[in-house]
Amino acid sequence: MPSSRPPHDPRQVSASPTLPKQGAARSRAFDVRDLYRGPAGAPATDGEATPALAEKLRQAYFWIVNHAIITPYYDLEFNEASPPSFRFGGAGTDVRLPTAPSYSSFALLPLLNFAIRKRCLFIGGPGRGKTASAILMGVLAGYSLREVRRGIQHGQPQMTIADLLGNPLPKDLLNASSTEDIKITWRKWISMRVKIVDEYNRIPTRTQSALLTLLADGYAEVLDQTLESPESAWFLTANDDMGGGTYQVIEALKDRIDIVVKALNFNPRFLGDLLTRVEEGVRPEAILPREIVFSERELDAIYREVLAVPIPRPVRRRIEFFASQFDFCDLAAQDVEYKSKDTIRLAGKTVSAVCSGDCGRDKVKALCSQTENGLSVRSLMTLLGFVKALAWFRGTAEASIADVRALAPWILHEKLALNATAPFFDQAQNGIYRIDRVAWIRRVFDLACEEYARLDLDRDDAIQAMDEAFDRGLDGVPEPEVRRRLDAIESHLASLAKATKLYAHVHADVLKLKYYHQRYSNYLRWLVAAG
């Protein structure tokens, strides 16, 4: 329940609604609750519902950006109309003024990660607020500052598995006749719902493996004893975004990172704010308002609400189209099933080497040439989860393409390996993408969407009808109908083969058509056998 706070006190929470709808305020008559509303906070009167969880999370976001973290970057841009844009000379920079509420990735992405309990990696130079931001997430989960601080695992070269997970009792070690007799004193952080690992790239490789088990599978293991960890939001930090450091981060651990958040540099124009903090010893994490603390039950409810946000077919199709661009390589194999960059990697080759051969495509335009790898199932699941979470946070009824566009760079940041030798990057205006991975992924998404629109796939998608027919199930479909569908698949494959090369998205379509063909063929055989 909100309480009395000076309006600009860092303990003040933004007034609800944080996303006001036009005209909503005028219609309501003066009411008892208005008597008790005012500068000293807006306590709920009898029977008034607690603020919705999305609203509470927005309040948390605004508290963080207004009072906790000096992050004057609104890089997650959303627009309701064409934004005013200003072009600056030099390298040629466009500055846009978003026309809809826009957000700072450094504040919002960790918050979404907190809300849907994923694994977030903060990257950026020292002193950029990575650990401070992670600590805030711990306090948001209701832990005291002391608990959060004690729960932080500080990566260092001597860190052992025992340091990370816990120790066997020495007495048990001496007296035990089997490992089951050994009692482990587990580290408390394992049972926390927010887990923070600072400088994870300084943890020795063996200890990283133990961390991987906990992070990926949700349990800790020492001497055959295991401890289950609750659903947790993870926050890891690294000074080097490539995962370097004292130790190379093992691939499996890197692969488990769901989202990457870049700690941006400090804007010297805000030195005044910094000075005040220095002079007054302000520590926002110590005075986080209780109104924006989330209970375990609330976090569970948030997760359920987020999962319920629909991703409409046009958005899903664009994600499919975008995702289909990366794994495909026509030169990787003879059979359609193996035309994957995995085939190249398993052969010990690189895409840059294979792609230098002629496949009959314009290598500047073909998006497949830009990456060394494709998107994993895990990446796509993460993308879908975060897209839902962002739409939910923004208060929209369903996910939009703008949500995908905003998030894709941060989720795929560590997942898509750029093929720096691709001709695309040799174009004068594209060289920057070899350095700016966020802009590159966003650009690739835009290019994929442009191609999708050019092909008019929203309206002209022959497979949509097949999807719908198949989704209705095979039970009861009569033999003539099955044969008609098989004919339709074969006809469509024939027309595709005649009209187009095997582009990446066509490859995905072809594989799906082949899949349907098999399912219908098997069903037909069963129908015929059953008489």
- Contact residues: other proteins, CB under 8 A: 1-11, 29-32, 34-41, 43-46, 276, 280-283, 286-287
Query: In the 8-state DSSP scheme, what is residue 49?
Result: P
Identity of the residue, 66 or 430, whose beta carbon is nearer to other proteins in the bound complex: 66
Between 41 and 409, name the residue whose CB sits nearer to other proteins. 41
- Based on its alpha-carbon atoms, the radius of gyration of the chain, rounded to whole angstroms, reads 27
| Nearer of residues 43 and 101 to other proteins, judged by Cβ | 43
Q: How far is the CB of 48 from other proteins (least distance, A)?
A: 11
Tokens 């941006």 map to which residue? 264
Take residue 405 and report the two structure tokens written for it.
């566009």
Which is nearer to other proteins, 264 or 287 (by Cβ)? 287
Q: Which is nearer to other proteins, 7 or 360 (CB)?
A: 7
Tell me the closest approach of the beta carbon of residue 210 to other proteins, in angstroms.
38
The first and second tokens of residue 465, run together, are 């009808």
Nearest distance, CB of residue 214 and other proteins, angstroms: 35
Q: Work out how close the CB of 29 gets to other proteins at its nearest, in angstroms, rounded to a whole number.
A: 8
Task: Look at the chain and count its residues.
Answer: 531
Q: Is 99 exposed, middle or buried (0-12, 13-18, 19+ CB in 10 A)?
A: middle
Q: Decide whether 7 or 268 has the Cβ nearer to other proteins.
A: 7
Least distance CB 340 / other proteins (angstroms): 56
Q: Which residues contact 30 (CB under 8 A, 6 or more apart)?
A: none
Instruction: Give the C-alpha separation, 167 to 161, whole Å.
Output: 9
Cβ nearer to other proteins, comparing 37 with 317: 37
Strands 119-123 and 100-103: unpaired
CA dist 312 and 302 (Å) reads 20
Distance in angstroms (rounded) separating the CA atoms of residues 469 and 519: 13
Closest contact distance (angstroms) between CB of 60 and other proteins is: 18
Shorter beta-carbon distance to other proteins: residue 277 or 361: 277
Query: Least separation, in Å, of the C-beta of 240 and other proteins?
Result: 35
- Those residues with Cβ within 8 angstroms of residue 426's Cβ, 6 or more apart along the chain or in another chain: none
Nearest approach, Cβ of 193 to other proteins (angstroms)? 24
Tokens read off for 483:
């044969």
Give me the least distance between CB of 270 and other proteins, in Å please.
Answer: 14
Using H for helix, E for strand and C for coil, what is the string for 58-117?
A: HHHHHHHHHHHCCCCCCCEEECCCCCCEEEECCCCEEEECCCEEEECHHHHHHHHHHHHC
Closer to other proteins at the Cβ: 29 or 308? 29
Residue 20 preceded by cis peptide, ω within 30: no
The alpha carbon of 462 is separated from its chain's Cα centroid by a whole number of angstroms, namely 31
Rounded to whole angstroms, how far apart are CA atoms 441 and 276?
38
Q: Which helix (H) or strand (E) holds 327?
A: helix 313-327
Identity of the residue, 46 or 94, whose beta carbon is nearer to other proteins in the bound complex: 46
At closest approach, how far in Å is the CB of 21 from other proteins? 19
Do residues 357 and 331 make contact, with C-beta atoms less than 8 angstroms apart?
Answer: yes
Report the alpha-carbon distance of residue 113 to residue 306 in Å, rounded: 12
Extract the tokens encoding 244. 């370097």
* Dihedral pair phi/psi, residue 164, rounded to 5°: -80, -45
- Note the helical H segments in 458-503: 462-471, 479-499
CB of 322 to other proteins, least distance (A): 45
Q: Is 473 helix (H, G, I), strand (E, B) or coil?
A: coil
Instruction: Decide whether 29 or 49 has the Cβ nearer to other proteins.
Output: 29
